Amino acid sequence: MECIDSPEQAEKAIEELLKEAKRGKTRAETMGPMGWMKCPLAGTNKRFLINTIKNTLPSHKEQEHEQKEGNKEPAKSQDQKEANPKKHRSHPYKRSLHTRGSVGYSPPRKRGTRDKCDPRPSRR
């Protein structure tokens, strides 16, 4: 516990204690003993909320890319804008169609001289 040196600090400490006592009195009057109980609800999953917000908002890189494209191209007429709709943003965890086509599967395994179909000589 700290020692209070000046009378100003002592006055501030007394004021804070009185404020806290008043808050406790109103809490006891309004809620009773339940006012001092901890909240039964679980804490907020802040990591989930932050990731959800990040995934719903367009990324900063995409905005810069769109601005660069907009600066390179001259002003388009309304018909051209309607013909070129905005690209649909894919889900970050799902594969898109163009990535599936480029996936290279591993070649089939080469089997040795014995196939699984061939009966093996039993050793005893």
- C-alpha distances out from residue 31 to 21, 75, 81, Å: 15, 64, 61
Torsions phi, psi of 15, nearest 5? -60, -45
Closest CA to 92 of 50, 60, 45, 56: 56
Residues 63, 85: Cα–Cα separation, whole Å: 16
Mean pLDDT score of the chain:
74
- Reduced to 3 states (helix: H, G, I; strand: E, B; else coil), residue 104 is coil
| DSSP state for residue 120 in the 8-state scheme | P
- If one compares 95 and 47, the residue with the highest pLDDT of the two is 47
**pLDDT at 1 > cutoff 90:** no
Least confident of 51-55, 72-76, 105-109, 119-123: 72-76
Q: Tell me the pLDDT tens digit for each residue of 13-49.
A: 999 999 999 999 999 999 998 888 888 888 889 999 9
**pTM reported for the whole predicted model:** 0.31
Q: Tell me the pLDDT tens digit for each residue of 43-57.
A: 889 999 999 999 998
Residue 32 Ramachandran class (φ > 0 left, ψ -120 to 50 alpha, else beta): left
